[in-house]
Structure formats: structure tokens, C-alpha cells
Structure 1
Amino acid sequence: MSSASVLNPADVPQSAIKAAAPMPDIMPPVKARKGLWGYMYRNPSIAIGGTIVLLMVLMAIFAPLLWTVDPTALAPARRTREPSALYWFGTDMLGRDVYSRVVYGARVSLIVGFAVAVLASAIGLTIGLVSGFVRWADSIVMRVMDGMMSIPPILLAIALMALTRGSVGNVIIAITIAEVPRVSRLVRGVVLSLREQPYVDAAVSCGTRTPVIIWRHILPNTVAPMTVQATYICASAMIVESILSFIGAGTPPIIPSWGNIMAEGRALWQVKPYIVFFPALFLSITVLAVNLLGDGLRDALDPRMAKRI
């Protein structure tokens, strides 16, 4: 073919060129939700659980402003009143307002739950980091933790409370000691997998000291699983506190707590079930909310649980 027969694109008139029709969109455009509402939409468990926990915290803080009376005030003339417009949750066998006692009882459960979660996480994190990274300390520390884990947490807490007098502080200490082995075991397992990573080997080969390696490379990678575990510890601590108070080994009877209220109403359960029902309902809702928050945090912090990769 000669060069003269080759079509030059510049010689083609523009009127002869026709643009192709645009391809239709197979998938509709995705509207990304941003901000707080978008985060809540992507993580409904965190939104629901966090909202309920926040409401419980606000209820405990502003208890005097929520149409309550003195939760310890005795009034034998109005004992065992049924729930009504005057007594929303009724009254107990001593005439105390059950609604006021339930609202004020949230303070004890939330304080115990949050305090045990913070203390057990901090102590267990320290033990787990040391035992997981320092090989010679692992066999010693973990044997102690294994011995403590052989005892159920509730029995260990009861034994520790038997050595002291009943108070909120002693309940926090007893439950913290019972929860520390679980946290240390979790952190140790995470550290054992992290210390074999290439970046840790590179830091060791460069002569980086062990405390610096733990602080810069190991600790940041344990924050996510530790945060999730802390929520479960908080829920477990509230249940254990209620059990201790229910059997008379927890907070003193003069301090209203959900466990104490249920313990005082169990004698009248068949005839006055509302005395036990309302504190048990609030305890169940709070524990469920904390567990929902923990599940949501696990899904949000673990990339393997992400819905979109």
C-alpha cells in the first residue's frame, strides 16, 4: 500500500466524527456518610451501647435532680406500696422508695465497673507486657496467674471480701485481683506474637533497649485488644458486685446498690416481685449495653472484621 493511500486523521472532517454514547453506570454511586452520624451508621453496636451507657452515667450523676428522694429514708407507714404515679417503682418492706434506690444504686455499679476495668487493665497490661517479652520472667509470672485462674473469679472475690469489711473500695480491690489474670493472659498472647515481627527484630539488632522496644513497638499494638477486653471486664465486674451484694459479702446494706436491693426483696419475690424486677432490669440493660459497646469496638478496631476492605 502506498503512503498516499494512508488516511490522515487531520484530513477527516469533524462532522464525520461521532462520539460514542456514554456507558451506563452498573453500580449506583455510593454516598459516604461522614461525621458523627456516619460513624454511628457504620457502627450501630457502638452507637446503641454507648448511648445507653451514657444515659446510665448521666442518670447516676444527676440522680438528685431526677425526682428522687432520700434512698435511705425509712417510712414504715408506706411499706410495700405497689408501683403508682406517686411511687413509680413502688416501695420496699421498710417503706423506702424503690425508684430512688435504683437510680442511686447505679452509682455503685458504674463506679465498681469502671474502676475495676481501669485498674485490672493497667495491672494486667503491665504483667502481660513483662511476661510476654521478657522470657525468663514468663515462666514465673504465668505460673502465679495460672494458679489464680484456677479459682473462679466470684469465689476468689468472696474469699478476699471475707478477709475485710464490706465497702465499695474493698469490693473494687477484690474484683480487680480476680480479673487481673484474664487480662495478663490476653496481653501475653498478643505480645508473644508481636515480638516475632520483623520490626521488633530490627529494633533488637540496632541495640534498642528492652523498655524502649516495649514502649514504642509492643504497647501501641496492644491498645486495641485491651480496650475491647476492658469493656467485658467492666460488665463482668458489675455482675460480680451485684452477686457479692446479693449474698451479703459486698457493699454494706446502708449503701443502695442493685445487688442490695435485690437481696432485700428476695424474701417477698412471690408477692412483691417489683422490688427485685426493677434493679435486675437496670442491671441487665447496663451489662447488655457495655457488651454491645465491646462488640462494636472489636469490629471497629479489628481490620479483619471490617465490612469493606
Structure 2
Amino acid sequence: MDGGRPATIPPGINVAPEMGDIMPPVKAKKGFIGFLRRNPTIAIGGTLVLLMVCVAIFAPFLAHRDPTSLAPALRTREPSAQFWFGTDMLGRDVYSRVLHGARVSLTVGFSVAFFASLIGLTIGLISGFIRLADSIIMRFMDGMMSIPPILLAIALMALTRGSVGNVVLAITIAEIPRVSRLVRGVVLSLREQPYVDAAVASGTRTPMIILRHILPNTLAPLTVQATYICASAMITEAILSFIGAGTPPIIPSWGNIMAEGRALWQVKPYIVFFPAVFLSITVLAVNLLGDGLRDALDPRMAKRL
């Protein structure tokens, strides 16, 4: 260019025409729909979880009868148009009890995942960044991890009376060590990064370094771990209720329903079958959601062209 005018081409020189693009432009899938298309596992798992949440919320409207009402004249009825999932040995509608049982399982799962992640995150941040606290706190966490979670939950429930709140507390205490060790491992690798050294050299206080530089980088693995804790908590709650150490029998939960139907398993298997199917689908959905989040949040496993 010369003064805004195209440069003149000397005579005798041929200029090849511009070549078109060999590959057509790739249209990136943006937005929420594009994210779900790139991560079908999240879409499937999230849809199933959302469906179960809707079932739990609208259980009083979807249920045919009161899940605690007794009708001895209607006991052990087979599944039919009147009783979709049949009735148990006390004449209670299994369909209504399964729908209301979703409330207990999802409440326990989400509550344990939230409280265990919050407490474990705090412990992991402190022990991972402060070396003196690490030598004290993690030895205590190691001692708790030496006890299987289900046995620790049973021992804690033996000290209290059966209720949903006590079940949440017992399972949360059993899950905290695993979250704290995960966060601690992430923090140990992050505190050696140059930007953390720069923050320390500039005089930034330790709490601000943890909040600004360490905490945001721990949220992705913590979110994935929370989904697995949620699924594990629902299974643990069902086990506690199945052996009589969980929620009271008057509260319908999937574990209680299966516990009450195990005596008639060989002749009336539907009493155990339907709550077991709902529990399996919910746990599968939460695990699918966790696997999808792991693939989406881990840059090493991101799908690239």
C-alpha cells in the first residue's frame, strides 16, 4: 500500500488468485444446548435427577393414597389398575410409599453432599496450606478413614434416636474425611504455584491467598466429588433403614419399604422390587451426572478437534 492506494504490480509478474478455504468454517456449539450436546452424560444424568426431584416435590399430588394409612383388608394385593405397585402386608399403597420415599432419599443425599463438602472443604484448605495444622488435622482424619463409613454411621446412629436429621449427621461425619483429603491434595499442588509465591512475596495475608487463589481452583474437583457423596449417602441411608438403624418405620423411605418386604420376598417380590428400582435409577443418574461433570471440568479430558 502507498498512501492508501494499492501498490502497482510491475509488468511481467503474474499474481496467483486467492485460494478459498480448504476446510469449511466450524460452527462452535455455544450456549446451554451446545454444552449438553457436547456432554450427553450430563444431559442424561441431569434429566433423570431432575425427574426424581420433581417426583419428590409433587409426591403428595401424584400419590393415590396416604402412604401411612393402614387397610388390613387390602394387604398384599398384586399390582393392578387400582394399586399400581401393589400393597404391603399392612395394606399400605406401595406406589404412594415409593413416591414419598424419594423425599427422604434425596433429602439425605443432597444434605450430606452439601454439608460434607462444606466442612471437608474448610478442613482441606486449612490443612493443605498450613503445614502445622496439616500434621494435626490429617492424623485425625486418617483415624476416621480407618473405619468403614457404614460402620461409623451405624455406631453414630446407635448413640441417637432414629430420625432423618440424625441420619444426615451420621453419614456426613463419615464422609468428611474423604472430602478433606481430596481438597488437601489439590491445595498441596496449588500452593507451590508461582502466583501463590508472588502473592506471599507481595505481603498478602494467608486468608486472602486461600480465598482468592486456592479456593476457586478446588471447586471443580469438589463438585464432582459431591455427586459421588450424594449417591453414596442415598445407598448408606437405605442400608441403615434396611437394618433398622435409620429413619423410623413410620417415615416411608426406600430402605424401610425394602426392609418391611424382605420377609415376603419369595411370594411378594414387588414390595422390594419397586423401591429398589427407584433407588438404583437415582444412584445411576447421580453417578452419570458426576462422570459428565468430571469430563467437562477436566481440561485434559475435554473434547477438541
TM-score by length of 1: 0.93
- 2:226 matched residue in structure 1: 230
CA distance in 2, matches of 1:188, 1:9: 67
CA distance in 2, matches of 1:82, 1:210: 64
What is the CA-CA distance between 1:36 and the residue it aligns to? Answer: 2.5
Decide which of 183, 188, 206 is 2:184's aligned counterpart.
188
Mapped pair 1:74 → 2:70: yes
Per-residue displacement from partner, 1:253-309 (whole Å, max 9, x unpaired)? 000000000000000011111100000000000000000101111111111110117
CA distance in 2, matches of 1:206, 1:125: 26
Match of 2:50, SS state, is helix
Aligned partner letter, 2:285: A
Aligned partner letter, 2:113: A
Higher alpha-carbon Rg: 1
- 1:137 matched residue in structure 2: 133
Aligned partner letter, 1:66: L
Decide which of 36, 46, 49 is 1:50's aligned counterpart.
46
Per mean C-alpha deviation after superposition, the further-off stretch among 172-181 and 29-38 is 29-38
Per-residue displacement from partner, 1:65-91 (whole Å, max 9, x unpaired)? 114310000001111111111110011
Decide which of 262, 269, 280 is 1:266's aligned counterpart.
262
Per-residue displacement from partner, 1:47-68 (whole Å, max 9, x unpaired)? 1111100010011001111143
CA distance in 1, matches of 2:256, 2:80: 23
Decide which of 201, 208, 222 is 2:204's aligned counterpart.
208
What is the CA-CA distance between 1:33 and the residue it aligns to? Answer: 2.5
- 1:64 matched residue in structure 2: 60
TM-score by length of 2: 0.94
Match of 2:90, SS state, is coil
CA distance in 1, matches of 2:50, 2:113: 16
CA distance in 2, matches of 1:21, 1:183: 58
- 2:163 matched residue in structure 1: 167
Per-residue displacement from partner, 1:88-117 (whole Å, max 9, x unpaired)? 001101110000000000000000000000
What is the CA-CA distance between 1:39 and the residue it aligns to? Answer: 1.2
Match of 2:271, SS state, is helix
Per-residue displacement from partner, 1:212-260 (whole Å, max 9, x unpaired)? 1111111111010101100000000000000000000000000000000
Match of 1:85, SS state, is coil
Per mean C-alpha deviation after superposition, the further-off stretch among 155-164 and 29-38 is 29-38
CA distance in 2, matches of 1:211, 1:52: 39
- 1:5 matched residue in structure 2: none
- 2:213 matched residue in structure 1: 217
Match of 1:68, SS state, is coil
- 1:303 matched residue in structure 2: 299
Per-residue displacement from partner, 1:111-150 (whole Å, max 9, x unpaired)? 0000000000000000000000010011110000000000
What RMSD over aligned residues (CA atoms) do the two structures have, in Å? 1.7
* Structure 1: stretches of 5+ with no match in the other structure: 1-7
Aligned partner letter, 1:88: W
Assess, with a 3 A threshold, how the Cα gap between structure 1 residues 77 and 135 changes in structure 2: closer, same or farther: same
What is the CA-CA distance between 1:32 and the residue it aligns to? Answer: 2.7
CA distance in 2, matches of 1:35, 1:136: 45
Mapped pair 1:279 → 2:275: yes
Mapped pair 1:108 → 2:104: yes
> Does the 8 Å CA contact 2:63/2:95 hold for their aligned counterparts?
no
What is the CA-CA distance between 1:207 and the residue it aligns to? Answer: 1.2
Match of 1:279, SS state, is helix
Aligned partner letter, 1:117: A
Aligned partner letter, 1:257: S
